[in-house]
């Protein structure tokens, strides 16, 4: 079947196409060249007054895994949002089906779970398998597991660490590696309550800097496209911008991605001991070539925070709203914490957090280096993306909200002085082309011949940009029209994106012995095999290329 998207105003940043009238042809789920068409065109969609972009990509959204399910379970009283098409789960902790439906309705076609605990990976993939429409993937958590820390303590070679990292990517069917509060989650298990970048953990005698340094090197050596995805030390603590900068330095110039950087950009100046350090962080972002970040914008309202960072979540439990929370130590592997939270516009701290996120967006000179996220649901549910886009594109709208925030907030933010308004070109970069590029998804985020036909078509005539991004006229997934004028036309099920760098298999022997002695499952069961992903988990994999082959 051939589909023709006719005369759309196309935004395809990877191909340097911005608002150019173009035709797009689709066959068998791929974008094809008009010249290759041999049969009749089955469907023509008139896009004359439409904006056509690749399907959007969310590179950091908590959509699957143990902590997400704890939140769903904990917040039962919020599950009352039945609207005819969906189940009644709340958007702050949506069911898998609601997750898929809400994402596809907004034109998002690929989403990535950033905190896939290796030991919990089977569950995370099984959950994500039940999310309809979208392609997905995850970043495996390392840097707090006892095996890795033992390697570092015993001065294991970088090549052995590389082998372990590659093994984890394979065993957990992941696309990348994330480190959360490097070493801090493990230290919390030994009753350490804080761990700064150059502070040694009491048990392993290792600093977060060493962990970040070893892992960024491993990712680089293995040729994994996505740089180490880092949730820095000291999340949410006033003055943490300094440790954020030190974490950047720990990468020693190698590629590094800092996630939900808004939560890591706090100063401790002023009468309240809490201030914006967005300028300082943005200066680094703008000057360091190999540094990327996603923002983790907060929005006002009820949400739930969920994180692998049990150290910081335990600290945060005092702010829980409603008053309940959960933390967990997990399998000598990682941890997690779930704390419901309500961001309030009349709270000085929350208002400044809102402003800091926007400052970072607006101070970023290169939209290829900063990605639009709310760290769903930590900053806000992902359904607030259209509102966030409007905040970025419409200064007067932004300032109207800013002016309603607590008196005195203007003295603590430069937001009102930032005149910048994002363009559609920039939005298309930061929500499509840039995340595809940083994740190494060659067939996503662009409209090149041979790419996946994941395409979103917006109504150009809509005056309200938030409305336009919230309600695309058409969404195509793998060439199928799955949304038409806000209505679901067809259910499809995406695939799981992975990478599989080469490694020396002898690491499995070492690890097998460790599992036999210390774990409560065997290594063979820990590994999620490719065919298991299809037959049992329910999510076939797509293996993306690594940049380089393993160095011998």
Partner 1 sequence: MANQNSTKNLVCPFCSLHCDDIQVKTNGKKYNVVENISCRKKIESYNINRHSNTYPLMKNKIISLSDAIKKIKDIVNSHKEILILNHGIELSGLRSILNFASQHNSIIDHINSKYLFQNIGVVQRTGYIATSLTETKNRADTIIVIGNKIFDKSPRLIDKVLLPKHSLCSNKNNRNVILIGNFPIKIQKEIKNRCKLTNIKIDLDLVPDLLKNLQKEKGKAIKGVSANTEIKLKNIISKSKYLVTTWAASDFMKNKKPEIIINSICGYIVNLNQTQRAACMPISGSLADVTSSQAMTWMTGFPSRIKHVSNSFKHDRESYDSENLISKKNVDLVLHISTISPDKIEINKKIKNIVIGHPNSTFTNQPDIFIPVGIPGIDYEGIMFRTDNVVSVALKDVRNISLPNSQSILDKLA
Q: Which is nearer to partner 1, 123 or 290 (CB)?
A: 123
User: What does the radius of gyration of the chain's CA atoms come to, in whole angstroms?
Assistant: 22
CB of 150 to partner 1, least distance (A): 8
Q: Which is nearer to partner 1, 17 or 97 (CB)?
A: 97
Distances in whole angstroms, Cα of residue 521 to Cα of each of 51, 85, 345: 51, 41, 47
Residue 535: phi and psi, rounded to 5, are: -80, -45
Burial of 443 (0-12, 13-18, 19+ CB in 10 A): middle
Q: Which is nearer to partner 1, 162 or 498 (CB)?
A: 498
328 binds partner 1 (CB under 8 A): yes
Distance CA 380, CA 342 (A): 10
Region of 84 please: left (phi>0), alpha (psi -120 to 50) or beta: left
- CB distance 355 to 399 below 8 Å: no
127 binds partner 1 (CB under 8 A): yes
Distance CA 250, CA 270 (A): 29
Region of 445 please: left (phi>0), alpha (psi -120 to 50) or beta: left
312 binds partner 1 (CB under 8 A): no
Distance CA 78, CA 32 (A): 45
The one segment of 73-81, 441-449, 491-499, 544-552 that binds partner 1 by CB under 8 A: 73-81
Residues 10-69 that bind partner 1 (CB under 8 A): 64, 66, 68-69
85 binds partner 1 (CB under 8 A): yes
In 3D space, the residue among 26, 18, 29 whose CA is nearest the CA of residue 52 turns out to be 18
- CB distance 62 to 378 below 8 Å: yes
In 3D space, the residue among 30, 2, 28 whose CA is nearest the CA of residue 444 turns out to be 30
Collapsed DSSP state (helix, strand, coil) of residue 305: strand
The one segment of 76-84, 102-110, 415-423, 479-487 that binds partner 1 by CB under 8 A: 76-84
CB of 367 to partner 1, least distance (A): 34
Distances in whole angstroms, Cα of residue 186 to Cα of each of 72, 162, 190, 354: 26, 21, 7, 30
The one segment of 103-111, 115-123, 164-172, 401-409 that binds partner 1 by CB under 8 A: 115-123
Distances in whole angstroms, Cα of residue 191 to Cα of each of 128, 145, 185: 33, 16, 10
CB of 346 to partner 1, least distance (A): 26
- CB distance 343 to 303 below 8 Å: yes
Residues 340-399 that bind partner 1 (CB under 8 A): none
Match 């340097």 to its residue by tokens.
16
Q: Which is nearer to partner 1, 93 or 427 (CB)?
A: 93
Q: Which is nearer to partner 1, 101 or 224 (CB)?
A: 101
Distance CA 294, CA 297 (A): 9
Site string for partner 1, 142-161 (x = CB under 8 A): ----x---------------
CB of 113 to partner 1, least distance (A): 12
Close Cβ partners of 384 (under 8 Å, ≥ 6 residues apart): 299, 374
Residues 509-528 that bind partner 1 (CB under 8 A): 517-522, 524-525, 528
In 3D space, the residue among 436, 545, 535, 454 whose CA is nearest the CA of residue 498 turns out to be 545
Q: Which is nearer to partner 1, 467 or 516 (CB)?
A: 516
Site string for partner 1, 181-220 (x = CB under 8 A): -------xxxx-----------x-----------------
Select from 5, 104, 295, 327 the one that contacts partner 1 (CB under 8 A): 327
Select from 238, 270, 512, 538 the one that contacts partner 1 (CB under 8 A): 538
Select from 536, 540, 543, 550 the one that contacts partner 1 (CB under 8 A): 536
Per DSSP, 452 falls in state B
88 binds partner 1 (CB under 8 A): yes
Residues 270-299 that bind partner 1 (CB under 8 A): none
Q: Which is nearer to partner 1, 119 or 232 (CB)?
A: 119
**Binding footprint of partner 1, residue count (CB under 8 A):** 67
Select from 109, 120, 201, 353 the one that contacts partner 1 (CB under 8 A): 120
Question: Residue 180 corresponds to which tokens in the numbers above?
Answer: 């959360």
Report the interface residues with partner 1, using CB under 8 A: 64, 66, 68-70, 72-74, 76-77, 79, 82, 84-90, 93-97, 117, 119-120, 122-123, 126-127, 130, 146, 188-191, 203, 314, 317, 320, 323-333, 338, 517-522, 524-525, 528, 532, 535-538
């Amino acid at each position: 079947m051939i589909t023709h998207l006719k005369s759309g105003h196309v935004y395809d940043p990877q191909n340097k196409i911005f608002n150019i009238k173009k035709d797009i042809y689709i066959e068998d789920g791929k974008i094809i060249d008009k010249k290759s068409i041999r049969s009749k065109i089955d469907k023509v969609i008139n896009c004359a007054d439409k904006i056509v972009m690749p399907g959007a990509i969310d590179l950091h959204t908590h959509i699957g895994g143990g902590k997400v399910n704890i939140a769903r379970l904990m917040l039962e009283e919020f599950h009352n949002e039945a609207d005819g098409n969906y189940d009644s789960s709340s958007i702050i902790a949506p069911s898998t089906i609601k997750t898929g439906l809400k994402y596809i309705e907004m034109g998002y076609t690929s989403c990535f779970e950033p905190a896939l605990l290796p030991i919990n990976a089977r569950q995370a993939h099984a959950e994500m398998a039940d999310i309809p429409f979208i392609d997905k993937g995850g970043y495996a958590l390392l840097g707090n597991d006892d095996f890795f820390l033992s390697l570092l303590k015993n001065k294991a070679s970088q090549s052995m660490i590389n082998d372990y990292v590659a093994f984890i990517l394979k065993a957990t069917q992941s696309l990348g590696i994330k480190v959360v509060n490097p070493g801090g989650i493990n230290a919390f298990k030994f009753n350490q309550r804080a761990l700064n970048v150059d502070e040694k953990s009491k048990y392993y005698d290792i600093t977060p800097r060493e962990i970040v340094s070893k892992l960024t090197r491993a990712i680089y050596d293995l040729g994994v496209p996505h740089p180490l995805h880092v949730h820095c030390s000291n999340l949410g603590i006033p003055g943490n911008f300094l440790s954020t900068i030190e974490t950047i330095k720990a990468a020693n110039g190698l590629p590094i991605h800092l996630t939900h950087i808004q939560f890591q950009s706090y100063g401790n100046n002023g009468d309240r001991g809490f201030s914006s350090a967005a300028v300082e962080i943005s200066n680094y972002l703008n000057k360091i070539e190999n540094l990327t970040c996603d923002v983790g914008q907060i929005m006002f309202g009820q949400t739930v925070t969920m994180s692998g960072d049990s150290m910081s979540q335990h600290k945060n439990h005092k702010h829980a709203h409603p008053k309940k929370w959960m933390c967990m130590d997990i399998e000598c592997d990682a941890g997690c914490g779930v704390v419901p939270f309500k961001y309030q516009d009349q709270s000085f701290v929350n208002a400044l957090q809102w402003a800091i996120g926007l400052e970072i967006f607006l101070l970023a000179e290169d939209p290829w280096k900063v990605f639009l996220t709310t760290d769903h649901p930590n900053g806000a549910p992902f359904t607030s993306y259209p509102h966030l886009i409007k905040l970025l594109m419409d200064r007067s709208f932004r300032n109207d909200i800013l002016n309603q925030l607590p008196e005195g907030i203007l003295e603590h933010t430069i937001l009102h002085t930032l005149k910048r308004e994002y363009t559609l070109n920039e939005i298309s970069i930061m929500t499509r082309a840039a995340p595809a590029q940083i994740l190494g998804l060659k067939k996503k985020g662009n409209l090149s011949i041979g790419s996946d036909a994941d395409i979103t078509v917006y109504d150009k005539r809509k005056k309200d940009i938030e409305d336009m991004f919230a309600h695309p006229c058409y969404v195509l997934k793998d060439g199928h029209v799955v949304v038409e004028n806000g209505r679901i036309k067809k259910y499809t099920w995406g695939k799981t994106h992975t990478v599989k760098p080469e490694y020396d298999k002898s690491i499995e022997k070492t690890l097998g012995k460790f599992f036999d002695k210390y774990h409560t499952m065997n290594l063979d069961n820990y590994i999620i095999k490719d065919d298991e992903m299809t037959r049992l988990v329910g999510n076939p994999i797509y293996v993306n290329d690594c940049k380089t082959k393993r160095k011998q």
